Amino acid sequence: MSAPEGVRCTLMRGGTSKGAYFLAGDLPAEPAARDALLLRVMGSPDPRQIDGLGGGHPLTSKVAVVSGSADPDADVDYLFLQVAVDAPEVTDRQNCGNLLAGVGPFAVERGLVPAGDTETSVRIRMLNTGELAVATFPTPGGRVDPTGTAAISGVPGTAAAVVVEFPQGTGPLLPTGNVRDTVAGTEVTCVDNGMPVVLIPAAALGVGGHETPAELEGDAVLAGRLREIRSAAGRLMGLGDVEGTTVPKLTLLAPPRDGGAVATRTFIPVRCHTSIGVLGAASVAAGLRLPGGVGEGIARLPGSGDRVRVEHPTGFLEVDVRVDPGLPVVRRTAVVRTARKIFDGTVYPRSARAAPTPAQRPGGHHDSAAS
């Protein structure tokens, strides 16, 4: 058998995640063939992903597929694919706001969007949901420059700021129609400001909410309660059977400790996030702005301005969010992220011989509208 053919790829850190970025035209058009290739590229299924690009964790087993957009309101299309680490599964059931930070620079470097003389704004259609975002970043002299002074928690050093702004969404901010619901005997707030999230007071589950991710992952009683809540909340939010999917996320809320508005611990869906996703944080921040939500009495919101500092296990993420609680709708959401190209070249996937094929689960990569 001949050696596997190489595929052009850029490995980038986007926000607090890391993933492989591809032009759509460099991958098979048929989803099953594409996903089978990506499993081989990332080295899945294998807890270490030793034979591929993946880093043995959901946050480093991600893929961005980018192409020019036919939408007049967008410059490029971005499809996010989560590649499971230890199972032959690829899903597009959610967005990734961290890898989103790298889409604009990638599009410029691959010639999909011309660079401005000082900065460039790229309009991005997120194919997972159909929603739009605008990423603005410096391009001095018409070239992407990743160096700068912006720092984000969970990433060492500094880099150029990538300001990502999300226009008002078209879906309901409260998928259940209620600011509070009782799910599996626990009061929660179900919110979707770009990512379906279930907000849960940590104390309601018998934990403090400031534990390390490892401590929370090791709590078998907590894991059982979270599975129960997630299953019931998924149906209540119109997501159907969420077993085997990555949404909704579950975020535990606790009083802040480091000057922020709230402390969070987020599950994706069973691993505890070492930080928090961009879109997840946007949903948390919007949920805290809703009178009557479960964050009341826990969060310490600033007295003025739109900025909400969301604490997470390795620092914080600041979200500018403006909510009209009477409707309720979010009028504006923006975050500052950074991104950096790690390498650009050719990736050689392992041989397709005896390679596992992607699992075909309900709501898998053929159901992109669900998130």
* SS3 of residue 96 by DSSP: coil
Q: Output the pLDDT for position 355.
A: 64
Domain ranges of the chain: 7-161+339-370, 181-334
pLDDT in tens, 142-156: 999 999 999 999 899
> Is the fold of 7-161+339-370 the same as that of 181-334?
yes
pLDDT in tens, 1-44: 455 689 999 999 999 999 999 999 999 999 999 999 999 999 99
Residues in Cβ contact with 279 at an 8 Å cutoff, skipping those fewer than 6 apart: 95, 96, 97, 193, 194, 195
Q: How crowded is residue 276: how many other Cβ atoms within 10 Å of its Cβ?
A: 32
Tokens found for residue 25: 């035209």
Q: So what's the pLDDT on residue 168?
A: 78
- Please tell me the predicted confidence (pLDDT) of residue 270: 84
The answer, as to whether pTM is greater than 0.85, is no
Q: What is the pLDDT of residue 319?
A: 94
What pLDDT sits at residue 366? 31
Distance CA 243, CA 226 (A): 12
Q: How far apart are CA 369 and CA 358, in angstroms?
A: 19
Architecture of domain 181-334 in CATH? Roll (3.10)
Per-residue pLDDT of the chain in tens (371 residues, 90 and over written 9): 455 689 999 999 999 999 999 999 999 999 999 999 999 999 999 999 999 999 999 999 999 999 999 999 999 999 999 999 999 999 998 899 999 999 999 999 999 999 999 999 999 999 999 999 999 999 999 999 999 999 999 899 999 999 999 987 778 999 999 999 999 999 999 999 989 999 999 999 999 999 999 999 999 999 999 999 999 999 999 999 999 888 999 999 999 999 999 999 999 888 999 999 999 999 999 999 999 999 999 999 988 888 899 999 999 999 999 999 988 999 999 999 999 999 999 999 999 875 666 764 434 433 332 22
Query: What's residue 307's pLDDT?
Result: 87
Write down the mean pLDDT value for the chain.
Answer: 92
Q: Render 132-200 in DSSP notation, one character per residue.
A: EEEEEEE-GGGS-----SB--TTS-S-B--EEEEEPPPSS-SSTTS-S-EEETTEEEEEEESSSEEEEE
- What is the Cα–Cα distance from 14 to 337, expressed in whole angstroms? 8
Sign, CA dihedral 8-13-15-18, equals positive
Per-residue pLDDT tens over the stretch 319-328: 999 999 988 9
Q: What CA dihedral angle connects 214, 219, 223 and 224, to 10 degrees?
A: 170
Extended strands (E) in the chain: 7-14, 17-23, 62-68, 76-83, 90-91, 119-126, 131-138, 162-166, 181-183, 186-192, 196-201, 249-254, 262-267, 307-312, 315-324, 329-337, 339-347
What per-residue confidence (pLDDT) applies to 57? 94
Domain 7-161+339-370 annotated CATH 3.40.640.10? no
Structure tokens at 284: 């948390």
